[in-house]
Structure 1
Amino acid sequence: MERVPAVRRRRLGEELRRLRDLAGLTSGEAAKRAGWHQSKVSRIETGRSSVRPEDVATLLDVYAVRDRDLRELLATLAGRGYQRGWWHDFRDVLPVEYRDFITLETGACRARSMENSVVPGLLQTPAYARALTREVMPHLTEKEVEALVDVRIARQAVLHQDRPLELSAVLDESVLRRTVGGREVMADQLLHLEQAASLPQVHLQVLPFTAGGHQGLVNSFVIFSFPRTADLDVVVVDHLTSSLYVDRKEDIAAYGAAFARLAARALPRADSTDMITRIRKEVS
């Protein structure tokens, strides 16, 4: 499995190379203006070495990039905030892969999520998250479980910030019918989904059993998109014991097309909410 830092370095390098080309400079000319050796620019652009936010700022100055949002995004990809995010306080209980995931989620402007088994973390209630964590990771202590639940709920702040994350989620019907934590917990979770579906930043659809087999049955996945440029998109594919980070343009396009097909086969938003309500009444 390739970790986010490697993915982000390569994506950052590609974007910096694109900006250099737009500025009409060779890597040697860029290095000279930055006061560096040409090999440093090459290592940064190929993602072979880490890069400090200060170095990114230097290159952006050389390329006359003044867009504040783009500068902020590229500084984040270089590592600013990676070690100092709120989740750093939970580093003793969070696997490094989970921290990587939160880093992407926090910096994204849009997420397209296909879930075939459980409610997406951004839409879980504390009771559902607690029951799910206990069942999936029975070896954890109660303190560790509560810490992970706290993290799960803290993540949801991205949906309510000044510039909220736009979440498009397609849920297989099995997500709604799997009674996690008992009937009362599940009924509350379904009610929470109904309420979340009314938020303008949340586009929630249900893929009913009547849709038959579909690509989402193979793996759940999330496509993260970032401000200003689609070239920085990353796909996270869930596996049993880890997650795979995909950033090749061809693969991202394939996952994007798959999500579009799944959304087209899913129920419209209003009908999806109606189904959630019907199932909640059955559970209650």
Structure 2
Amino acid sequence: MSTVAAEQAGGGFHEEWEAGPTVARMVLGAQLRRLREAGGHSLEDAEAVLRRPREWISRLELGRAVLRLREVADLCAAYGATDRAALATLLGLARQANAPRWWAAFRDVVPPWYEPYLELEQSASLIRAYEAQVVPDLLQTEAYTRALIEEHRPAGDAERLAALRAVRRRILDRPAPARLWAVIEEAALRRAPGGRAVAFAQFEHLLDVCDLPHVTLQVLPLAAAEAPPVAGGSFTLLRPPQPELPDVVYVERLNGAVYPSGPDAVPYWHTMNRLVLAAAPAAATQSILWRILRGL
């Protein structure tokens, strides 16, 4: 859903909710843009209020800049938004946007390009992942994670990153868990970082995960005839719980990541839908896992 369509469908203000700084910035920017447009104000008007360049205002409305509380109040006054509850919501979002990151304790092993993803993942209501090489992060056991990371990082980093990944996995265990829908290449499941014992424990975990009502796991067989080509490799689609926010695409590269948006994001949605259709149905996943496990 595009930002405009989502805003038209959502309407109004939301009650104050706990969000990570990245998501809070996105919601705050979308709400401020709605107020500006509803009042017939231009970017130049906002520019005059904040005494900042138009490019910065555009970044603000996309959730890529942070406002001080005084600036939020000034914009609301300029836009004629006098509703106290609405202003309180916006000020609450501004506070959350400036709050410490939940992953601050892991800052030593978190690169800047990964920071937005960590925030967006924790706030997502739906996560759709395609994984071509390894078990998706949120479905890994700690032993599998550690063995995987130790292939290319020092042991100390592996321990820290494994601990971070364990914290991330809690979104599947909380009272209102995120929904995860993952499509995994069969070749990825046949990898065994850490050896047979680690692989067996990982498969046991995946078999258990298949029984969770909020997790859908599909396997893309080696001989899947209808599988679409995926030039960029693995990718993840994140859906925020707030209807005024667009879904987010995350594509990790060797030394960085990209977050396609707008028209650039559309091919990923089409590809994910085609992957779901090409993969074996979720009802067959456990039998496929047992077949692969017996061959390890």
Shared fold per TM-score greater than 0.5: yes
Going from structure 1 to structure 2, the CA distance change for 1:163 and 1:7 (only over 3 Å counts) comes to closer
Candidates 128, 132, 140, aligned match of 1:112? 128
In 1: Cα distance, 2:86 partner to 2:294 partner: 50
Say whether 1:130 aligns with 2:146: yes
Deviations 1:96-132 (A, max 9, x none): 2233321121122111111000111101001100100
Q: CA deviation at 1:136?
A: 2.7
Deviations 1:161-194 (A, max 9, x none): 2321111111011111112211111111111111
In 2: Cα distance, 1:153 partner to 1:166 partner: 17
SS in 1 for 2:150: helix
Q: CA deviation at 1:93?
A: 2.3
1:155 is matched with which residue? 168
Q: CA deviation at 1:216?
A: 3.3
2:265 is matched with which residue? 252
2:200 is matched with which residue? 187
In 2: Cα distance, 1:121 partner to 1:280 partner: 20
1:234 is matched with which residue? 248
1:103 is matched with which residue? 119
Q: CA deviation at 1:56?
A: 8.3
Pairing 1:196-207 to 2, within 5 Å after superposition: 196-207=209-220
Say whether 1:209 aligns with 2:225: no
Candidates 97, 105, 110, aligned match of 1:79? 97
CA contact (8 A) 1:108 1:165 kept: yes
Deviates more, 1:115-124 or 1:205-214: 205-214
Q: CA deviation at 1:42?
A: 5.2
Q: CA deviation at 1:273?
A: 2.1
Q: CA deviation at 1:148?
A: 0.9
Give the number of aligned pairs: 267
In 2: Cα distance, 1:122 partner to 1:245 partner: 19
Going from structure 1 to structure 2, the CA distance change for 1:96 and 1:218 (only over 3 Å counts) comes to closer
Letter in 2 for 1:52: L
Letter in 2 for 1:259: M
TM-score (norm 2): 0.76
Unmatched runs of 5 consecutive residues or more in structure 2:
1-20
In 1: Cα distance, 2:65 partner to 2:27 partner: 12
Q: What is the RMSD of the two structures over their aligned residues, measured on CA atoms?
A: 3.5
TM-score (norm 1): 0.79
CA contact (8 A) 2:23 2:120 kept: no
Candidates 33, 37, 44, aligned match of 2:49? 37
2:67 is matched with which residue? 52
In 2: Cα distance, 1:101 partner to 1:206 partner: 24
1:17 is matched with which residue? 33
In 2: Cα distance, 1:254 partner to 1:173 partner: 23
Candidates 257, 261, 286, aligned match of 1:243? 257
Going from structure 1 to structure 2, the CA distance change for 1:158 and 1:37 (only over 3 Å counts) comes to same
In 1: Cα distance, 2:92 partner to 2:285 partner: 34
CA contact (8 A) 1:56 1:74 kept: no
Say whether 1:223 aligns with 2:223: no
Deviations 1:20-72 (A, max 9, x none): 43x4442489869xxx716559556401672237368646792859689x969
Percentage of pairs with the same residue? 34
Deviations 1:73-101 (A, max 9, x none): 9658x7244x331x101112222223332
